[in-house]
Structure formats: structure tokens, C-alpha cells
A = this chain, B = another copy of it.
Amino acid sequence: MSVVDICLRVERLNNIDLLKKIADKVYSAVKPLLGTKKAGKIVGSGFGGDKTALIDEVAEETVIRHLKRHHLACTFIGEERGVENLSSKPEFYLMVDAVDGTTNAIRGLRFVSTSLALSSSNSLGGIEAAVVMDLSDGGIYEAAKGEGARYDGKKIRTSDASVLDEAVVGVDFSRVPDAVEKIVPLVRAAKSVRSLGSAALEICHVASGCLDAYVDLRGKLRTVDIAAAMLIVEEAGGVFLQPDGASFGNYPLTELNRFSVIASANKQIHGKIASLISGL
């Protein structure tokens, strides 16, 4: 390993540590609000036009405060605030979905996460470090580019599932009526279907082998929703593509785009899912 390689590796591990510190702050801020009415109070509307609940605002402001206090010169891209340069010379991009699974968080369903991704360039393919924290217990999914993925420090790999009738598949079809019909062939073919309510955490469950795939055909997931989980599932050996097979690599972090996604444990299961939903 050359000195340059070693330096790059140290930098990536430092980046992961930074994201973990931020996630810890969010965890402490959000914990007392989980399952409370107060958490769901509408306090405004976010970057993409969705309503902002108090818990979303508290979590995102916690991130912003940490970044400012430590004079971290970045371009912040958050679910609520949108794009904001925290320095005249930003050194990196930080993608923040401070609470992914807001409905679960408000209702007290314990499947909710914070999703953080860091990149030195303005593209999804440039993400170098990612952390998704399970806010119910502080468990951490992490990945640094080229270094694999981990859950609570231990390496994780996607499953070797290759047939749908033995597969457990996460889906989301809430709030978009057409999405129900689109997903029916997959629901019929899979062994079991789950709908857990936090896309980032469900994609991390594909990374750890708990799920064999996660499919959301609603065309609603934003860049901030998927940035961290994409690196984690890819570093765990998974496949992360749009339903038409297109990759996400070239999309700019600073643009508001909305996607449908298929996160799969491997190429075989991806192929089977893609062929089931093609032509829809």
C-alpha cells in the first residue's frame, strides 16, 4: 500500500468517525421525542415540499449546530433545509436525512433511522463514507468506499438468495395508489413481503442479509434518502439500480431528483425482480 493509499484510507476512516459523531448527536436529540404527539407537530415544509414535523426539524438542526460548532466547511444538503453552504470554501458535501421513517418515529414504531453520507464531489457516485443509524437502539450501519460495509463494527454481506419464492422482500407502496398495482406481481412471487417504513434502514437490512431485496416503485425517493444506504448495500455486495437498470452514479447531490429503486442482495435476484416489473 502506497503512502497515498494509506492517507486516503485514514481520511475515509476519519470521515466515518465524523458521521458517527453526528449520528450520536441526532440519537440523543431524537430519543425523548420518539412515539410522542409533540414529535409530529407540523412546523413548516421542507426542501421537496413535504411537511416538516418537529422531530425532523430538531434532528436536522442538531446536525447543523454540530457542523457550525466545529467549523466544518461543507455544503450541507438536508431533507428540510435543502442545499446550504456552511463555508465560502466548502471542502465536502454532506447528505443528511436526519429522520428517515418520520411516521414510525411519531407513532412509536421502532423502525426509524438517521442517514448521513459524505462526498468530495457533487455526484451520488462520489459518496465515500456513509452511516445509517437505527434510532431505536443506536445500532450503526457504515461503509467507506472500497472498505466493505459493517453493522456495529462487524463486516456484513448481502444474502445469496437466488429465487423469489424463498425471498423476503421489503416494499413501500404507501400514499401512491398506482404503486400498489405495480408491485402486485412481486408480492405474488416472493415468499414474504415486509413494509417497515424507513427506506434507508430497509436497504441496510438488504446489506446485512436480513432482507433479500427492497423495492420502491413510487418514484418518490430523493437523493438524500438513498445516498448513504446505496454505498452501504453496494459495499456489502448488493446491487442498487433504478427499475430500468440505470445506475445513480451521475446524479448531482445538490439537485432535487426523485427515484424508484431496486436494492438487491445480488445480480440473480435483481434480474428476477427486474424482469417481473419490467413493462409496467
Q: A-side interface residues toward B, CB under 8 Å?
A: 35, 103, 107-110, 168, 171, 173-175, 177, 180-181, 184, 187-188, 190-197, 205, 208-211
Contacts and interface: CB of A to CB of B under 8 A. Distances in A.
18 contacts: A107-B168, A107-B211, A108-B210, A109-B168, A109-B194, A109-B205, A109-B210, A109-B211, A173-B187, A174-B190, A174-B192, A174-B193, A175-B191, A181-B184, A184-B184, A192-B197, A193-B195, A195-B196
Given A103-B168, A107-B210, 14 more contacts: A35-B210, A103-B191, A109-B168, A174-B187, A174-B190, A174-B191, A175-B191, A175-B192, A184-B184, A192-B197, A193-B195, A194-B196, A195-B195, A195-B196
A276 to B, nearest CB: 13
Contacts of A194: 109, 195-197
A127 to B, nearest CB: 26
Nearest to A171: B195
Contacts of A173: 187, 193
Contacts of A110: 110
Contacts of A168: 103, 107, 109
Protomer copies: 2
Nearest to A185: B180
Contacts of A171: 195
A4 B108 CA distance: 39
A15 B102 CA distance: 38
Residue picked from A173, A174, A205, most chain B C-beta under 10 Å: A174
A110 B110 CA distance: 9
A192 to B, nearest CB: 4
A175 B168 CA distance: 11
Contacts of A177: 188
A264 to B, nearest CB: 16
Nearest to A186: B180
A196 B198 CA distance: 12
A82 B228 CA distance: 47
Contacts of A208: 108
Contact of A180 (B107, B187, B191, B205): B187
